[in-house]
């Protein structure tokens, strides 16, 4: 299973659209690009694997694996990248500004159910992150 995240970079955040087979699953927000620095930057463009992960804070969620010089890059709910993210990716229903969105929990639960379905059937889930071509 291949997910494609197409991003736009801004001063105060990174906005994206996450798709499967050309169909939008959700929008995304992330921190702005700061050369892949921990806790203050979105992750580099590239290909990654996604796995299920559990933590006390986020319960069941998704983790982006094998990010160069980074760890614990999660997909979890957040509506304001600068206030709520430390390098992770947050699904949102609506983009409202640079690195900002609404109804993240709704978008996250929908995405989680969709991806977990494939993972539980034994599929490998790959995430490709690309810059939006204007």
Q: What is the 3-state secondary structure (H, E, C) of 17-38?
A: EEEECCEEEEEEEECCCCCCCC
Q: Has domain 2-131 been given CATH number 2.40.440?
A: yes
Phi/psi at 103 (nearest 5 deg)?
55, 45
Say which DSSP state 122 is in: T
Q: How confident is the model at residue 134 (pLDDT cuts 50, 70, 90)?
A: low
Q: Give the tens place of pLDDT for each residue, 85-116.
A: 999 999 999 999 999 999 999 999 999 999 99
Q: How confident is the model at residue 25 (pLDDT cuts 50, 70, 90)?
A: very high
Instruction: Give CA–CA dist 40/133, Å, rounded.
Output: 24
Q: What is the residue extent of each domain of the chain? A: 2-131
User: What's the pTM?
Assistant: 0.95
What's the maximum distance between 2 C-alpha atoms anywhere in the chain? 40
CB 3 within 8 A of CB 127: yes
């Amino acid at each position: 299973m291949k997910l494609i995240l197409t991003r736009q970079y801004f001063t105060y955040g990174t906005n994206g659209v996450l798709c499967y087979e050309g169909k939008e699953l959700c929008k995304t927000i992330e921190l702005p690009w700061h050369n892949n620095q921990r806790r203050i930057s979105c992750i580099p463009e590239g290909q990654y694997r996604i796995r299920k992960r559990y933590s006390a804070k986020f319960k069941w969620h998704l983790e982006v694996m094998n990010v160069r010089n980074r760890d614990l890059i999660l997909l979890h709910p957040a509506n304001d990248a600068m206030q709520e993210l430390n390098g992770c990716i947050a699904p949102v229903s609506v983009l409202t500004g640079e690195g900002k969105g609404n109804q993240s929990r709704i978008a996250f639960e929908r995405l989680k159910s969709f991806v977990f379905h494939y993972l539980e059937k034994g599929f490998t889930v790959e995430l490709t992150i690309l810059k939006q071509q204007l």
